[in-house]
């Protein structure tokens, strides 16, 4: 309870820590006012009550009114807050003066009247606290009047004849003066001193922090990497940091002014930077940066060394030049490359010009025949020859892949066609240093030409030339760009994408063509692949997709899809058809794929019965059919039970060697011989010799491409026992052969 009351009093008198630390004068002035008034009210309350009672008993009501009114005035002053501090201060001064005058003019006792004069002597202290020094001095001077009255020791007549003297007036006034001098004034002074002491402690702490901060900044200034000087307005050096002192020591130890160190072009001006070099070392250049100090008359100058940055800039410029040459210049020929073409040319610069893209088509032959160094020399000489032959205002750019690009206008062509102009300018041969002697080697040029008759960006123009170049050939070495060419390429690309999409999505259809014996019984089927459009049901024939498969190296994917489909077909073979072997075609490249070969070998090894149901046909005309690795792998497959068939026998260039090395057990005589077997004696002899050779090697034979009864009769007479061709059925889905089997039954 006591702590709570104490806290309330402290808050009211503004004696808490926050108010003691504040620098706001109105706070501690109000605190002094409240301290004086509250203590005065509390301590004099007994005097007021007793004197009022005595006055009431003696019917001196005006005395009672005066004392009670004075107390009410003090209470009213206590209620005044911080916003009206001046009013409260005036009320306190008025109360002190009023009390003094009442004692002086309304008491007959000289000794009691002197108490009023003594009360006036407290005014300088109160006025100093509340109003300042000048007001305090004024009150000191005014106090000479009461001092004079004290010296005369003269009793003043009561004013207006009013006498407020009571029997215990002397006691009342003595107590009042005692309380005011011993409590109110000391407590006010203590309050002011408390604030001053707190402020002194706070200032001391701040001073320590400031000194520490200054020491840190001084350390930073002294040890900063940038030389810095403090100078007066004439440039005299007053202070220098460590870096600046080192600069002075090295270049001008005796220099007193900053202009003794730097060759200044302008006077040092606040906020104006300038470049200056060391007086005796012009290669060292600095940027002088005067700091903008708002609260300091001296000038702080930072000196930024630009020597290293300029050196770095020179090195960077050299590096940029080197990178420019790497990026924009061909290292071998020194010609600007395709990047530079894109950088320098624009749609406006190539408009209405003939853009020519040349390619040295037989450079690869030179590299293989004479070595790459000779190929480089040939390319270098060709570039030099083109520069000498073409007009000097024509810029030649080297493009990747032994290509050169330049542009010509109508004036350059001089009424000639582009073909006539290039035929006269392009070299047809060049001397090459072979190992033994110089050899004249022919040059084969391919040209893609585009006439920019409309506005087009440089990338698109170069692409048009490249498209035209891709259509050139030995018979047509110079090709001009045509929109129809783009249309054809786009169609081919769409067709290619469509075939790849069908392969990836499993749109493969397996067609079967029967192989029959001499009695017409089906003894096997050859699996022939088709691609089927899922939406339209359109079936793509082999000529529509096989060339794309070969061009894009999709043989492994394609054959794997056929094998997977064939194995599924064998697994779900219809009960209505005899379980005869199925033959699939291999083109050769897939056998050289390790993954494909190992997977196929594992299937035959793990399923011995597969050898009876799945046969492998290798086209004898395939380039890779005679590859040693192909022969080795076919032998391995044969050893695990696979039946190897040589397809299209007789049309290849290594037929006899394949019979020896490929472990084949069946030969299919090509339709080229079968279709003319009834009309050509030469063809009959070749077919007969093939049959006799197969018999001697204990190999079976199949005559494929049989389409007529006459052909069948001749082949039977020769000794053939197995046949395949349209005479027995065209390739068709498995459903067709199921229906045919049911119809025969």
Coil, helix or strand for 619?
strand
Residue 650: pLDDT band (50, 70, 90) is low
H, E, C per residue of 152-203? HCCCCCCHHHCCCCCCCHHHHHHHHHHHHHHHHHHHHHHHHHHHHHHHHHHH
For 430, the token pair is: 């060049």
- How do the domains of the chain map onto residue ranges? 2-199, 227-311, 329-481, 505-744
For the stretch 555-568, pLDDT in tens is 899 999 999 999 99
**For position 67, what pLDDT does the model report?**
75
Query: What whole-number distance in Å separates Cα of residue 744 and Cα of residue 730?
Result: 17
H, E, C per residue of 108-140? CCHHHHHHHHHHHCCHHHHHHHHHCHHHHHHHH
Cβ-contact 633, 591 below 8 angstroms = yes
User: 227-311 has which CATH code?
Assistant: 3.30.450.260
Residue 701 phi, psi (nearest 5): -130, 150
Residue 670 phi, psi (nearest 5): -65, 150
User: 505-744 has which CATH code?
Assistant: 3.20.20.450
Cβ-contact 672, 651 below 8 angstroms = yes
Is the pLDDT score of 115 beyond 80? no
Query: What whole-number distance in Å separates Cα of residue 122 and Cα of residue 97?
Result: 10
Classify residue 374 by its DSSP letter: H
Cβ burial, residue 186 (10 Å; 0-12/13-18/19+): middle
Q: Specify the range with the lowest mean pLDDT, choosing from 256-265, 391-400, 647-656.
A: 647-656
Query: What whole-number distance in Å separates Cα of residue 224 and Cα of residue 670?
Result: 94
Is the pLDDT score of 46 beyond 50? yes
**For position 204, what pLDDT does the model report?**
82
Q: How many CA atoms lie within 13 A of 719 on its CB side?
A: 13
**For position 109, what pLDDT does the model report?**
65
The CATH H-level (homologous superfamily) assignment of domain 329-481 is: Reverse transcriptase/Diguanylate cyclase domain (3.30.70.270)
Query: What whole-number distance in Å separates Cα of residue 249 and Cα of residue 255?
Result: 9
Average pLDDT over residues 255-265: 89
Give which of 218, 669, 729 is closest to 520, Cα–Cα: 729
The edge-to-edge listing of strands for the beta sheet with 237-240 is 237-240, 228-231, 299-305, 281-290, 274-278, 262-263
DSSP string, 390-432: S-TT---EEETTTEEEEEE-HHHHTT--HHHHHHHHS-SEEEE
Q: Specify the range with the lowest mean pLDDT, choosing from 244-258, 399-413, 515-529, 646-660.
A: 646-660
Residue 698, by phi and psi: left (phi above 0), alpha (psi -120 to 50) or beta?
left
**For position 104, what pLDDT does the model report?**
67
Average pLDDT over residues 332-346: 89
**For position 154, what pLDDT does the model report?**
64
What residues pair up with 323 in beta bridges, in sequence order?
none
Average pLDDT over residues 513-530: 94
**For position 30, what pLDDT does the model report?**
73
Q: Cα dist. 123→90, 100, 106, 138, 636 in Å?
A: 12, 10, 20, 10, 129
pTM (two decimals): 0.48
Cβ-contact 625, 619 below 8 angstroms = yes
Is the pLDDT score of 672 beyond 80? yes
Angle ∠(728,730,736) on CA atoms, nearest 5 = 95
For the stretch 550-607, pLDDT in tens is 888 898 999 999 999 999 999 999 988 999 999 999 877 888 889 999 999 999 999 9
Alpha helices by DSSP H, 13-84:
17-21, 25-57, 61-78
Classify residue 329 by its DSSP letter: B
**For position 108, what pLDDT does the model report?**
62
Instruction: Spell out where 395-543 has E strands.
Output: 397-399, 403-408, 429-433, 438-442, 445-451, 478-480, 508-517, 522-532, 539-540
Q: Mean of the per-residue pLDDT values for the chain?
A: 82
Angle ∠(256,261,264) on CA atoms, nearest 5 = 115
């Amino acid at each position: 309870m006591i702590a709570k009351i104490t806290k309330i009093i402290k808050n009211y008198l503004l004696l808490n820590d926050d108010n003691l630390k504040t620098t706001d004068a109105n706070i501690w002035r109000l605190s002094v006012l409240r301290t004086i008034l509250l203590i005065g009210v509390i301590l004099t309350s007994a005097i007021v009550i007793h004197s009022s009672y005595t006055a009431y008993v003696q019917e001196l009501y005006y005395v009672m009114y005066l004392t009670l009114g004075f107390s009410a005035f003090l209470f009213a002053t206590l209620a005044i807050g911080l916003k009206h501090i001046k009013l409260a201060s005036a009320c306190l001064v008025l109360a002190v003066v009023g009390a003094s005058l009442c004692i002086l003019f309304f008491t007959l006792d000289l000794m009691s009247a002197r108490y009023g004069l003594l009360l006036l002597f407290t005014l300088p202290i109160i006025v100093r606290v509340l109003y300042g020094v000048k007001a305090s001095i004024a009150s000191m001077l005014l106090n000479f009047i009461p001092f004079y009255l004290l010296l005369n020791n003269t009793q003043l007549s009561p004013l207006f004849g009013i006498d407020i003297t009571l029997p215990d007036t002397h006691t009342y006034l003595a107590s009042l003066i005692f309380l005011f001098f011993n409590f109110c004034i000391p407590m006010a002074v203590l309050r002011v001193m408390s604030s001053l002491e707190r402020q002194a402690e706070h200032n001391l702490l701040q001073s320590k922090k400031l000194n520490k901060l200054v020491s840190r900044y001084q350390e930073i200034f002294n040890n900063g990497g940038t030389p810095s000087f403090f100078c007066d307005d004439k440039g005299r050096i007053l202070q220098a940091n460590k870096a600046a002192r080192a600069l002075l020591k090295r270049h001008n130890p005796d220099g007193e002014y900053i202009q003794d160190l730097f060759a200044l072009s302008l006077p040092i001006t606040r906020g104006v930077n300038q470049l200056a070099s060391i007086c005796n070392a012009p290669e060292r250049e600095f940027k002088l940066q005067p700091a903008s100090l708002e609260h300091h008359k001296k000038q702080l100058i930072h000196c930024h060394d630009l020597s290293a940055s300029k050196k770095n800039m020179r090195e960077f410029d050299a590096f940029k030049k080197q990178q420019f040459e790497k990026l924009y210049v061909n290292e071998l020929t020194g010609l600007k490359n395709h990047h530079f073409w894109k950088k320098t040319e624009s749609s406006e610069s190539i408009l209405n010009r003939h853009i020519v893209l040349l390619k040295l088509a037989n450079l690869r032959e030179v590299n293989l025949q004479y070595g790459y160094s000779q190929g480089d020399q040939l390319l270098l000489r060709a570039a030099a020859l083109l520069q000498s032959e073409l007009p000097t205002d024509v810029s030649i750019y080297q493009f990747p892949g032994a290509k050169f690009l330049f542009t010509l206008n109508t004036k350059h062509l001089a009424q000639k066609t582009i073909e006539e102009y290039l035929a006269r300018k392009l070299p047809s041969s060049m001397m090459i240093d072979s190992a033994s002697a110089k050899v004249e080697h022919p040059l084969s040029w391919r040209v893609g030409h585009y006439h920019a008759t409309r506005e087009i960006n440089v990338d698109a123009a170069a692409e048009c030339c490249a498209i035209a170049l891709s259509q050139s050939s030995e018979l047509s070495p110079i090709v001009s760009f045509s929109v129809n060419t783009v249309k054809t390429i786009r169609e081919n690309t769409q067709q290619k994408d469509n075939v790849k999409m069908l392969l990836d999505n499993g749109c493969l259809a397996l067609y079967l063509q029967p192989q029959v014996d001499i009695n017409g019984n089906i003894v096997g089927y050859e699996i022939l692949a088709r691609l089927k459009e899922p939406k339209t049901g359109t079936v793509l024939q082999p000529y529509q997709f096989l060339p794309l498969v070969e061009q894009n190296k999709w043989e492994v994917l394609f054959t794997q899809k056929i094998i997977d489909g064939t194995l599924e077909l064998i697994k779900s073979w219809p009960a209505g058809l005899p379980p005869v072997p199925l033959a699939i075609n291999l083109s050769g490249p897939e056998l050289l794929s390790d993954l494909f070969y190992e997977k196929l070998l594992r299937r035959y090894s793990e399923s011995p019965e597969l050898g009876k149901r799945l046969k492998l046909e290798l086209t004898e005309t395939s380039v890779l059919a005679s590859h040693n690795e192909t022969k080795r792998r076919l032998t391995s497959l044969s050893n695990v039970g696979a039946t190897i068939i040589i397809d299209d026998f007789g049309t290849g260039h290594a037929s006899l060697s394949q019979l020896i090395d490929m472990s084949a057990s069946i030969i299919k005589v090509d339709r080229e011989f079968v279709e003319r077997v009834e009309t050509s004696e030469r063809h009959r002899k070749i077919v007969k010799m093939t049959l006799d050779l197969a018999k001697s090697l204990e190999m079976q034979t199949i005559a494929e491409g049989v389409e007529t009864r006459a052909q069948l009769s001749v082949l039977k007479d020769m000794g053939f026992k197995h046949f395949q061709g349209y005479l027995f059925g065209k390739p068709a889905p498995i459903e067709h052969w199921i229906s045919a089997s049911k119809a025969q039954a």
